[in-house]
Structure 1
Amino acid sequence: MLTLLRPVGILYLSSGLLVLAQFRGHFSPRMNQIFLTPSRMINRGVGLKVEGSSFTLDGSPFLIIAGTIHYFRVPREYWRDRLQKLKACGFNTVTTHIPWNLHEPRKGWFYFTANLDFVTFVAMASEAGLWVILCPGPYVGGDLDLGGLPSWLLRDPKMKLRTTYKGFTKAVNHYFDKIIPMIVQLQYAKGGPIIAVQVENEYGSYHQDKRYLKYIKKALVTRGIKVLLMTGDDGEALTRGHLTQALSTVHMRHIKKETYDTLFSLQGRSPILMMVYTARSLDGWGTAPHFADSHSEYFLALPFILFLLPTCSVKEEVREMFNASFSLNFYMFHGGTNFGFMGGSASLDNYLPMITSYDYGALLTENGEYTPEYFSYQDFFSFSLGIPKHPQPDSIPKATYKSVITPYYISLWDVMPYLEEPISSVKPICMEKLSVNQGSGQSSGYVLYETMIISGGLLTTKGHLQDRGQVFVDDIYIGILDHSTNHLTIPTKMVYKNNPTLRILVENQGRLAYGQNINKERKGLIGDIYLNNSPLRKFKIYSLDMKTKFLRRDLPNIWKPVVFKHQGPAFFLGILRMGNYPRDTFIKMEGWTKGVIFINGQNLGRYWNIGPQETLYLPGPWLRPGSNEIIVFEEFKPGLQIHFTNMSHLGY
């Protein structure tokens, strides 16, 4: 029996636990939660509503037990599996975000098919018996490149993201005109599973324009969004991110007693929805993995959320939370993978590019395996809340394939004559302003800058190189320029002939996913670079976006047998052969240094020997019986073989 719903006091117990201490009213999840499913509610009345201090759905008390799954981080072939596992655990709602940058990667070019078919994902959720909370943005965060905003917005030098700046609102309106009609048809009143829509994301922490949230709300409502609207912020930003006639929900940052005082002052004794509960945080390349105790400051403030620690039992404190009738959204129930270049970066003490895995310590692993925590929650929901266990999908089989030798390679320098015509420019041009993709610039990957030099000396960036650049004189490696190293010495003796070429291969490692500085997140050479304090001039600039079209361009047969001593950026080719039933596996790039892996044209993401991530997830549906083409873009020194394992190694 779950005790609900009308808290009338907040107390600290001697143990330090913060609890809602007095209640009125009860309901049994056995009598309500079981029947409040999309398939059973044919005759729809009112949808999700706030009634005093409780949620109701079609007039019946309803507790939101949600988990986040990002459809774009999961192979489409596994959407149904992940949703069924969410339902089988005892959750009744799935939360997902819509990343604008993936759906409109080029201005005016929209994609809603294959892994970006969110309409089908939402329909599958309904078929699985799940309600949906949708977060359409335009900014969604989610540890994505630029928080899910398209990089082509930054072609405007005056751009002010997440404000009512006309250049931004014009782009948002065009985007919303495309996607909101698709969402409208999936709302509760139209027989769909969407019961709530979040207005933007954590705007109280950004808050650059007091008019902005009202604009977004109006943009949603006037286009037909009629379900419950929500905002989501951490404790200190709740007031700045609050909207009238929208429910303020809490994200788990710096939660303390004042958080609940603020909620009460904003909207009275409304239901409390913890919209972002998290077991741990994301990991960055070259750092130690983050474990759940990285959020210890939250636990000190609110110890009853200790149940989110990765233990094999649900602690007593979670019962107190549900007895206080909190609704929750578990971020992430299933994290998935930052395939390709979708991952963003963080700015803590310094710039931190995110690893490829988005495992996130979720209840399902990166490849959808059950964790001990999954079963702890399932048991808790069943025995303590009376939610029946649903049929549980079988685990997806994995395989360890025979190691693949990469017998052929092409150096980057050999490929260049077959690339698209380089852009000639007196000064460097940043990635976003390159004249590619019908004027939308380049969003991700690498850019190669070439210019002639007549002497050696001190090469200085003055902060104009974003994010990481390898420097060469002709094809001789000099060193690395990045956020922490802004100068290199070019030995005079290396400039041994007339007009040698200085080459700088710059990698975009991911734009900031959040924070006040997102307007500055242009990549490549964003300004002058200096040799002996003189700005270099006359560049040839090559776009190396590493997308499918780039890999599948017509090339003559210029693959060469691998020379073991080869060093420098190059493409390596290998063939993985298998039988009729491909299975999930993990690639282990032991002996390799840093780069990107493609399988049958699909970009699996980055690898880097500095860790902590040691394996890349390779979904079985992306393999095919027979031969599978593997292309590795290695930046430094290759390994001898590509290895496979049936276990993930993420450094923890």
Structure 2
Amino acid sequence: MPVLQIDDGGFRLDSEPFRLLSGGLHYFRVHPAQWADRLHKARLMGLNTVETYVPWNLHQPRPDLFRMNDGLDLPAFLDLAAAEGLHVLLRPGPYICAEWEGGGLPSWLLAQRGIRLRTRDPLFLSAVDDYFTRLLPPLLPYLATRGGPVLAMQVENEYGACGDDTAYLEHLAGSLRRCGVDVPLFTCDQPADLERGTLPGVLATANFGTRSTQNLAALRAHQPNGPLLSAEFWIGWFDRWGGHHVVRDPDQAARELDELLATGASVNFYMFHGGTNFGFTNGANDKHTYRPTVTSYDYDAPLDEAGDPTEKFTAFREVIAKYAPVPAGPVPARSAKLALPSVPLTESAGLLDCAPALGDAVESSHPLTMEQLGQDFGFVLYETVLPAPGPVLLELEQVRDRAQVFLDGQPVGVLERENHEHALAFTVPRSGSVLSLLVENQGRVNYGPGIHDRKGLPGKVLLDGTELAGWTSRPLPLTSLDAIPFAGTATAPSGPHFHRGTFELAEVADTFLHLDGWTKGNAWINGFALGRYWSRGPQRSLYVPGPVLRAGTNEIVVLELHSAHRARTVDLRTTHDLGPTEE
């Protein structure tokens, strides 16, 4: 592979002028069996490069555990990109934002009291340096300087929106270099943050989605020489629970792209293919109100969540063809989809009843946070015994992020962080009643100062103004469902229950799981965590990658936190439903 060079005139590959035509494609949001398909379609749209973040929290889920296998096999992804003739822009963080849980920062960092993320705090920098020494050596053969596809690597991510400590960025760049990274480095920031987030001697790039000429001019004013690159050219957006499905007109986006390319600048689409926040991996925003991101990361991109070309694919391909060669041939066809209506879920198990099989309770004087429990995702079940009967007022200092409250196993209310709810009144029937709080992590904040987002019940719990003591905190990460004691039931039980069923397939294909009539929870097929569903929308279906399915018998498990469909059935359909659009 040729080596990227940066001079006053722009980018060069082995001394030849070069324009980056890149698109975002996050390997960790796509089933690995589908990587090759998505990469091939990137080349067919006319791209010569793909870009990906690297999620620290998945690769190093515990300080002493590092993994780079299965869906996290980044070397395998880079091999496939190279085989497709694509270059790669690599963005290893440590912080990535990406509407990803915690912005990619591992939850165990927050188990350290007082830690200051994205700063020169020795606790943070020591963890970052350790992460780089684990991540980067296996990737060195993939650098362009060693014959691999990786042309350049990013330092941090939109740091100018967070701080202005040049010494912090210098430390990160130095750590990359000490680990053997010898390809060009770059930073990315929104135009208004360029002064704060850039690093002398490192290529500055800008993120925007409109007013290309104006924003590139701001980049040129900050960086008088060298190539112009929009490292995130926003051609769509993400969705949040309770909002609309955000879309952007393809023709308008294509006009913005044409304006950008006409200046001679390079581009990286954010996103070319968004993919999915499988499992519990979605992030959240908190600008005075907590807003969790949905499971789908479709992003209204040129390839939709299932990898099928959209109108933007054709529109962008036509614009790119004005400036660079585009592979001949038709736009790729949509992949086959399967349908199977009314799949029955005939077996159930109560979550509160089977909780001891899913996690060990830890005794303490006060509720422990997820981070103190060594837990990344899922739920915590907190329990304590109430001293006396009568009417009471329960107050939770902090709810992170949604607490279902039970008294002797019966639901008495829900407190949501998003709605700034902290108090609940009810009557205790007897002395010795058990108070249970099932608290869901709905996604750690991924942007801004809110990234110090400890989950569970980080504050005091008061009963009639007096702090409750004597708790058990039971982590329920739901990384395995094997221990759940399912049994057949004639009717749909209410409250938090797992529901299981099977279905038969002669052959496999992509499909979409629809949970009409269900309320809120999570779904798995053959043990693969599809993600969250919620009747509040906008998202009303979950993408099921074909490789998750198998010919023969397949298992589906649904965790319903409230009220299941009366008939306890789900549908597999050929089309997705991401909800009403916001124009």
TM normalised by structure 2 equals: 0.95
Letter in 1 for 2:385: M
Which residue in 1 is equivalent to 2:570?
642
From 539, 544, 552, the equivalent of 1:613 is: 539
Q: Do residues 234 (structure 1) and 190 (structure 2) align?
A: yes
Letter in 1 for 2:342: S
Which residue in 1 is equivalent to 2:404?
470
Which residue in 2 is equivalent to 1:8?
none
Please give the per-residue CA displacement for 1:551-581, whole angstroms capped at 9, x wherever unaligned.
123x5x55241423x21001101102111x2
Residues 1:528 and 1:394: Cα distance change in structure 2 (over 3 Å): same
Which residue in 1 is equivalent to 2:393?
458
From 172, 178, 185, the equivalent of 2:141 is: 185
Tell me, in whole angstroms, the C-alpha distance in 1 between the residues paired with 2:251 and 2:395.
Answer: 49
Letter in 1 for 2:251: T
Q: Secondary structure at the match of 1:603?
A: strand
Which residue in 1 is equivalent to 2:348?
409
Which residue in 2 is equivalent to 1:41?
none
CA contact (8 A) 1:81 1:393 kept: no
Tell me, in whole angstroms, the C-alpha distance in 2 between the residues paired with 1:236 and 1:253.
Answer: 14
From 580, 590, 606, the equivalent of 2:516 is: 590
Q: Secondary structure at the match of 1:576?
A: strand
- 1:259-274 counterparts in 2 under 5 A? 260=216, 262-274=218-230
Tell me, in whole angstroms, the C-alpha distance in 2 between the residues paired with 1:421 and 1:189.
Answer: 49
- 1:485-500 counterparts in 2 under 5 A? 485-492=420-427, 495-500=428-433
Tell me, in whole angstroms, the C-alpha distance in 1 between the residues paired with 2:395 and 2:178.
Answer: 51
Residues 1:257 and 1:364: Cα distance change in structure 2 (over 3 Å): closer
State how many pairs are aligned.
Answer: 575
Q: Secondary structure at the match of 1:184?
A: helix
Q: Do residues 507 (structure 1) and 434 (structure 2) align?
A: no
- 1:412-431 counterparts in 2 under 5 A? 412-431=351-370
CA contact (8 A) 2:486 2:500 kept: no
From 88, 105, 120, the equivalent of 2:61 is: 105
Which residue in 1 is equivalent to 2:557?
631
Tell me, in whole angstroms, the C-alpha distance in 1 between the residues paired with 2:540 and 2:7.
Answer: 49
Letter in 2 for 1:575: T
For residue 390 of structure 1, report the CA deviation from its aligned partner: 6.1
For residue 88 of structure 1, report the CA deviation from its aligned partner: 0.5
- 1:391-410 counterparts in 2 under 5 A? 393-410=332-349
CA contact (8 A) 1:466 1:507 kept: yes
For residue 384 of structure 1, report the CA deviation from its aligned partner: 5.1
Residues 1:427 and 1:246: Cα distance change in structure 2 (over 3 Å): same
For residue 240 of structure 1, report the CA deviation from its aligned partner: 1.1
Residues 1:372 and 1:352: Cα distance change in structure 2 (over 3 Å): same
CA contact (8 A) 1:204 1:233 kept: yes
Tell me, in whole angstroms, the C-alpha distance in 2 between the residues paired with 1:223 and 1:516.
Answer: 29
Residues 1:93 and 1:233: Cα distance change in structure 2 (over 3 Å): same
Tell me, in whole angstroms, the C-alpha distance in 2 between the residues paired with 1:263 and 1:488.
Answer: 49
Q: Do residues 324 (structure 1) and 256 (structure 2) align?
A: no
CA contact (8 A) 1:347 1:512 kept: yes
Tell me, in whole angstroms, the C-alpha distance in 1 between the residues paired with 2:213 and 2:85.
Answer: 36
CA contact (8 A) 2:45 2:326 kept: no
Which residue in 1 is equivalent to 2:482?
552
Which residue in 2 is equivalent to 1:303?
none
Which residue in 1 is equivalent to 2:251?
311
- 1:116-195 counterparts in 2 under 5 A? 116-195=72-151
CA contact (8 A) 2:45 2:327 kept: no
CA contact (8 A) 2:403 2:416 kept: yes
Q: Secondary structure at the match of 1:410?
A: strand
Residues 1:313 and 1:335: Cα distance change in structure 2 (over 3 Å): closer
- 1:180-579 counterparts in 2 under 5 A? 180-207=136-163, 209-252=165-208, 260=216, 262-292=218-248, 309-311=249-251, 314-315=254-255, 318-348=257-287, 350-383=289-322, 385-389=324-328, 393-434=332-373, 441-453=374-386, 454-455=388-389, 456-462=391-397, 464-483=398-417, 484-492=419-427, 495-519=428-452, 521-548=453-480, 551-553=481-483, 559-564=487-492, 566-579=493-506
Tell me, in whole angstroms, the C-alpha distance in 2 between the residues paired with 1:394 and 1:314.
Answer: 21
For residue 319 of structure 1, report the CA deviation from its aligned partner: 3.4
Please give the per-residue CA displacement for 1:341-395, whole angstroms capped at 9, x wherever unaligned.
1110012452110000000000001000111221122223235534343686553
For residue 540 of structure 1, report the CA deviation from its aligned partner: 1.2
Residues 1:175 and 1:562: Cα distance change in structure 2 (over 3 Å): farther
Q: Secondary structure at the match of 1:185?
A: helix
Letter in 2 for 1:373: K
Residues 1:253 and 1:432: Cα distance change in structure 2 (over 3 Å): farther
For residue 51 of structure 1, report the CA deviation from its aligned partner: 2.2
Which segment drifts farther, 362-371 or 320-329? 320-329
Q: Secondary structure at the match of 1:395?
A: coil
Which residue in 2 is equivalent to 1:23?
none
CA contact (8 A) 1:336 1:367 kept: yes
Letter in 1 for 2:118: R
Please give the per-residue CA displacement for 1:564-599, whole angstroms capped at 9, x wherever unaligned.
3x21001101102111x2111000000100000011
For residue 517 of structure 1, report the CA deviation from its aligned partner: 2.3
For residue 189 of structure 1, report the CA deviation from its aligned partner: 1.7
Q: Secondary structure at the match of 1:212?
A: helix
From 57, 73, 86, the equivalent of 2:42 is: 86
Tell me, in whole angstroms, the C-alpha distance in 2 between the residues paired with 1:546 and 1:558.
Answer: 15
Residues 1:624 and 1:529: Cα distance change in structure 2 (over 3 Å): same
Residues 1:600 and 1:260: Cα distance change in structure 2 (over 3 Å): closer
Tell me, in whole angstroms, the C-alpha distance in 1 between the residues paired with 2:77 and 2:424.
Answer: 53
Tell me, in whole angstroms, the C-alpha distance in 2 between the residues paired with 1:488 and 1:184.
Answer: 53
Tell me, in whole angstroms, the C-alpha distance in 1 between the residues paired with 2:150 and 2:57.
Answer: 22
Tell me, in whole angstroms, the C-alpha distance in 2 between the residues paired with 1:397 and 1:152.
Answer: 41
Letter in 2 for 1:471: V
Q: Secondary structure at the match of 1:238?
A: helix
Tell me, in whole angstroms, the C-alpha distance in 2 between the residues paired with 1:160 and 1:392.
Answer: 48
Tell me, in whole angstroms, the C-alpha distance in 2 between the residues paired with 1:86 and 1:563.
Answer: 48
Tell me, in whole angstroms, the C-alpha distance in 1 between the residues paired with 2:164 and 2:223.
Answer: 23
Letter in 1 for 2:555: E
TM normalised by structure 1 equals: 0.85
Q: Secondary structure at the match of 2:448?
A: coil
CA contact (8 A) 1:355 1:606 kept: yes
Which ranges of structure 1 fall in alignment gaps of 5 or more residues?
Answer: 1-37, 39-43, 293-308, 435-440
Which segment drifts farther, 414-423 or 614-623? 414-423
Letter in 1 for 2:411: Y
Letter in 1 for 2:289: N
Tell me, in whole angstroms, the C-alpha distance in 1 between the residues paired with 2:336 and 2:61.
Answer: 34
Which ranges of structure 2 fall in alignment gaps of 5 or more residues?
Answer: none
For residue 129 of structure 1, report the CA deviation from its aligned partner: 1.0
Tell me, in whole angstroms, the C-alpha distance in 2 between the residues paired with 1:193 and 1:460.
Answer: 55
Letter in 2 for 1:128: E
Tell me, in whole angstroms, the C-alpha distance in 2 between the residues paired with 1:558 and 1:621.
Answer: 26
Q: Secondary structure at the match of 2:22?
A: strand
Tell me, in whole angstroms, the C-alpha distance in 1 between the residues paired with 2:139 and 2:173.
Answer: 15
CA contact (8 A) 1:163 1:208 kept: no
Residues 1:489 and 1:67: Cα distance change in structure 2 (over 3 Å): closer
